[in-house]
Amino acid sequence: MRSPSPKPVAIVADSSAAIPAEAAAQHGIITVPLAFLLDGNLYHDGELSQAEFYRRLHSAEHIPSTTAPAPGEFLDAFRRAAQGGAREVLCLTLSSHFSGTHSAAQHAARLASTELPGLHVHVLETGGLAMTHGFAVLAAARAVQAGARLKAAAQAAREVGERAELIGVLDTMRYLAKSGRVPWIIHWAASLLRIKPVLAARAGAVRSIARVRTAGRAIEKMVQYLEARAGPPHELHVAVLHAAAPNGAATLAARIRERFSPAELLISECGAAMALHTGPGFLGIAFYSATGLRQPAATQPSKTRLERDVHRLEESLPPLPAPQPQPALIVLSGLPGSGKSHLARALQARYPLALLESDRLRRALFKRRIYTETENARLFAAAHELAGRLLSRGIAALCDATNLREVHRRGLYQIAERKGARLVLVQVTAPEEVVRARLADRAAGVDSSNASEAGPEVYESMRAGVEPIQHEHLVVDTSGDISAAVEAILRELEQAPV
Strand order across the 41-44 sheet: 41-44, 35-38, 65-67
Note the CATH number of domain 300-495: 3.40.50.300
Using alpha carbons, select from 80, 87, 78, 91 the residue that is nearest to residue 4: 87
Cα maximum dimension of the chain: 75
Residues sharing a CB contact under 8 Å with residue 316, sequence separation 6 or more, in sequence order: 360, 361, 364
Handedness of CA 124, 130, 136, 138 (dihedral sign): positive
In one-letter notation, the amino acid at residue 390 is: L
Give the β-pairing of 88-93 and 120-125. Answer: parallel
| Number of other residues whose CB lies within 10 A of the CB of residue 431 | 12
Helix (H) or strand (E) holding 200: strand 196-202
Residues 165 and 249: their CA atoms lie apart, in Å, by 17
d(CA 447, CA 244): 40
The CATH code of the domain at 9-34+69-160 is 3.40.50.10440
Sheet holding 422-429, edge to edge: 354-357, 397-400, 328-333, 422-429, 474-477
What's the pLDDT at 280?
86
Q: Does domain 165-289 have CATH number 3.30.1180.10?
A: yes
**What is the reported pLDDT for 203?**
66
Q: What is the DSSP letter of 235?
A: G
Pairing of strands 422-429, 474-477: parallel
243: left (phi over 0), alpha (psi -120 to 50) or beta: beta
Compute the 3-state secondary structure of the chain and give helix, strand, coil in percent, each to the nearest 5: 45, 20, 35
The DSSP secondary structure of 459-483, one letter per residue, reads: HHHHHTT-----S--EEEETTS--H
Question: Number of C-alpha atoms within 13 angstroms, CB side, residue 487?
Answer: 4
Tell me if 141 sits within 8 A of 11, measured CB to CB: yes
Amino acid (one-letter) located at 171: D
Partner residues linked to 208 by β-bridges? 199
Domain ranges in the chain are 9-34+69-160, 165-289, 300-495
> Hey, is 443 helix, strand or coil?
helix
The pLDDT of residue 296 is: 58
Query: How many helices (H) does the chain have, and how many strands (E)?
Result: 19, 18
Per the DSSP assignment, residues forming a β-bridge with 14 are 32
As averages over each run of 10 residues, the pLDDT of the chain (498 residues) reads 53 94 86 90 87 85 83 96 93 85 95 93 92 95 90 94 90 57 38 63 72 79 88 86 89 86 86 82 92 60 73 94 91 93 95 95 87 76 92 94 82 86 94 89 63 64 79 94 95 71
CA distance linking residue 455 with residue 347, whole number of Å: 25
Domains 9-34+69-160 and 300-495 are alike in CATH topology: yes
- Which residue from 237, 162, 151 is spatially nearest to 205, judged by alpha carbons? 162
pTM for the model stands at 0.59
